[in-house]
A and B are shown apart, each in its own frame.
Chain A
């Protein structure tokens, strides 16, 4: 079992989405999480001044599936069709460290005790990094909801935060699977629908073009960033092996060998650079890939409403022509128009604030990443200078 508690690292890590937790009336965080085998249990902690809650402060344990349930119920709520639904957090993925652990177990007999200890340490660090990441994305999801004027009032959200029993969402698994399949079908359909619909509004026309293009580019950048950071990790691993091999020298009269251990301290720095890059740039790109998708989903819902609106107009014309069911058709048309207008209005607001949010997040993230790169490189410089001095003076 691994647990993680509040630490200042998380503050730095929370730059993916900004303007969260600014409102003291509802503050949510995940201060703690336990990992048992494959299951992660998040401790969701809420502090609130709102009267709609029973207590001012409370915590509940939640698993990933329950977060998905919350996301899905919000998506399915008709009222929220005109809002960008915060993307669901991805499932905790411990595949990387698990594979490494397997390799470690297999290779145990062929390693020295020190090498094994070192690899184990490395493995634990990687495990911890994945763990921190998954806590972060789950936390940000909740904070997006709590900082949104409409979502924070959602009944299911409140249940999620407050209800201290199991939400019994497990039976959703079969439905989830089917739902997921359906969602994928719909996603490819939405591209067609969005591009097919005749747009009357200049704003939405531009948004459509922008989002479709941006979506594919950011997905690509996100994938390439991941590959790059993985390569960086491989380089760090190699330094680890080199230091392992050096450390296992028995009585060594070649002092230059011993002094090369400093080269391997660099491995630690390379590793840190790789994981900071990972958290900053890669996570930013990953997150916004999902967020862009959520924005696209909004466009899709609006396009559907527009299509419905047009169909209802056609139905009304037909009814008038036939002289039958005119009142019903009129009512239908009125409703469709209302829905469409409401969607368009709130959609416009949401997309505008999304733009601003995205730019701010990129800015914060890029600045932090750059400052970290500079810090690490400067550290390396002084370390290297020190080592060179020592070696030259002997």
Chain B
């Protein structure tokens, strides 16, 4: 009876469909989906108009059986943006579709200097349990974790002004059937990490300074790396907190039963009653701890995990700028070679080859100026992106920390109520 209470009181963060079974279809009203979300985006277009765009990922459903089974998620959008065909619509997507979206976005935008939000991690173990049909709490937890991660991922994508304009993103949200995404192997958790770490190494190995804005980039990169370290440590500590709180849950339940037993053999009737009441209080404690562990995980731990990966994406972004720089460098060196070749020809007096040499030089001169413009643009974009990212991060953290403190507050309120209800029982012992 209390369970319903707990979740509705938890309010805006916890969703009412948290306990959906993996095979159920649930009727829902489109609007209801969005009342539960606390991460509404109400963004401004460049022209300053306000618009609404809310995304929800819900209703996980298992399609198929055995090792070919997969989870299908409902992606619902509510928006006032004119570029979409409707104001409210939904489609069904599977995990590999999300990975495919990331691939596409990355291919198009990363060399432009955008920080691309990383997708949720693949998990062979987690998915296998679901496929095999283990309908226990750990696979339900896994599905919920993934659902929430997919939702946050999409929300981050559409929060990015350039990505929102991308027709592929629109198609992902709107189109009924997507072609099946293949080649999503590279994006397993460790795979992504390896790729990002290689990128970092490349940046670190760079010894030639580019220009004076180098200092900004260099110190920014250092900042990013330090912060990533810090967040990793924090994440490890919060992970430990979640586990210990779960342990506390099970120890509390065990204790509660033991106290109930003690109460049942107690010969003094008032004390016996008080002890069984104490057992009930401890039972309620366990529920509170359970709920708190949920908050610890979904509000704090996942936030930290997301940002560890996001900071990796920032580093990757810096690496892409590096690539653009290298391309410019290579073009400059090629141009230099072409000029030397022309000089040699002039000296050797071979007029028939001279025209070719001049053409080459023209070609490479225009390439160099193209790449110079590219590099300037990338540099400018990366700077803007970093600033935007930092603003988003500060806002995100603040929002989540407030949410977390509110969850703690809620727990403490309930604690007060539980113990205040028990006090008269203790006083009644005679």
Q: Which residues of A contact B (CB under 8 A)?
A: 210, 213-214, 217-218, 220-221, 224-225, 227-228, 230-232, 234-235, 237-239, 241-242, 245-246, 248-250, 254-257, 259-260, 262-263, 266, 355, 359, 362-363, 366-367, 370-371, 373-374, 377-378, 380-381, 384-385, 387-388, 391-392, 394
A360: nearest chain-B partner, CB-CB: B429
Closest to B398 in A: A256
Q: Which of B244, B393, B422 contacts A231 (CB 8 A)?
A: B244
What mask results when residues 199 to 238 of chain B are scored 1 for a CB within 8 Å of chain A, else 0? Answer: 0000000000000000000000000001000100110011
Contact status B423-A228, CB under 8 Å: no
Q: How would residues 260 to 276 of chain B score, 1 for a CB under 8 Å from any chain A CB and 0 otherwise?
A: 01100111101100100
Q: Of A241, A266, A367, A392, which contacts B408 at CB under 8 A?
A: A266
Are B255's CB and A367's CB within 8 A? no
Shortest CB–CB separation between residue A333 and chain B, in angstroms? 35
Cβ-neighbour of A256 out of B245, B401, B409, B426 (below 8 A):
B401
- Asked if residues A254 and B394 are in contact (CB atoms below 8 Å), the reply is yes
Total A-B residue pairs with C-beta atoms closer than 8 Å?
151
A374, B252: Cβ atoms under 8 Å? no
The contact string, 1 if C-beta is below 8 Å from chain A, for chain B 231-253, is 00110011011001101100110
Q: For the complex, is B331 an interface residue (Cβ under 8 Å from A)?
A: no
B406 contacts A by Cβ under 8 Å: yes
Do most interface residues of chain B lie in helix, strand or loop, or is the interface mixed? Answer: helix
Stretch at the interface among B22-30, B95-103, B345-353, B410-418: B410-418
Question: Taking the nearest CB of chain B, how far is it from the CB of A111, in angstroms?
Answer: 11
Nearest CB in chain A to that of B241: its residue = A238
Say yes or no: B429 contacts A227, CB within 8 Å: no
13 further A-B pairs in the complex, CB-CB below 8 A; given A214-B262, A227-B254, A373-B419: A214-B265, A217-B265, A221-B255, A228-B255, A231-B252, A362-B429, A363-B429, A370-B422, A370-B423, A384-B406, A385-B409, A388-B402, A391-B401
Interface size on B, residues (CB 8 A): 51
| Interfacial chain B residues near A234, Cβ < 8 Å | 244, 247-248
Contact B266 A214 (CB under 8 A): yes
A222 to chain B: closest CB distance in Å? 9
Do B234 and A384 have beta carbons less than 8 Å apart?
Answer: no
A263-B401 contact given A228-B251, A231-B247, A242-B237, CB 8 Å threshold:
yes
Residues from chain B with Cβ under 8 Å of A214 in the complex: 262, 265-266
- Beta-carbon contact of A232 and B412 below 8 Å: no
A259–B261 Cα distance when bound, in Å, is 45
Please judge, given known A-B contacts A231-B244, A238-B241, A263-B401, whether A220 and B423 are in contact too, CB under 8 Å. Answer: no
Report the minimal beta-carbon distance from A363 to chain B, rounded to whole angstroms.
4
- Cross-chain contact B419 with A249 (CB below 8 angstroms): no
Residue B328, interface by CB 8 Å:
no
Which residues of B364-418 have CB atoms within 8 Å of chain A's CB atoms?
393-394, 397-398, 401-402, 404-406, 408-409, 412-413, 415-416
Give the residues in chain A near B240, CB-CB below 8 Å. Answer: 238, 241
Residues of chain B contacted by A249 (CB below 8 angstroms) = 230
**Inter-chain contacts of B416 with A (CB < 8 A):** 374, 377-378, 381
**Residues of B contacting A217 with CB < 8 Å?**
258, 261-262, 265
Residues of B within 8 A of A384 (CB): 405-406, 408-409, 412
Instruction: State whether B244 touches A238 (Cβ < 8 A).
Output: yes
- Decide if B278 is an interface residue (CB 8 Å cutoff): yes
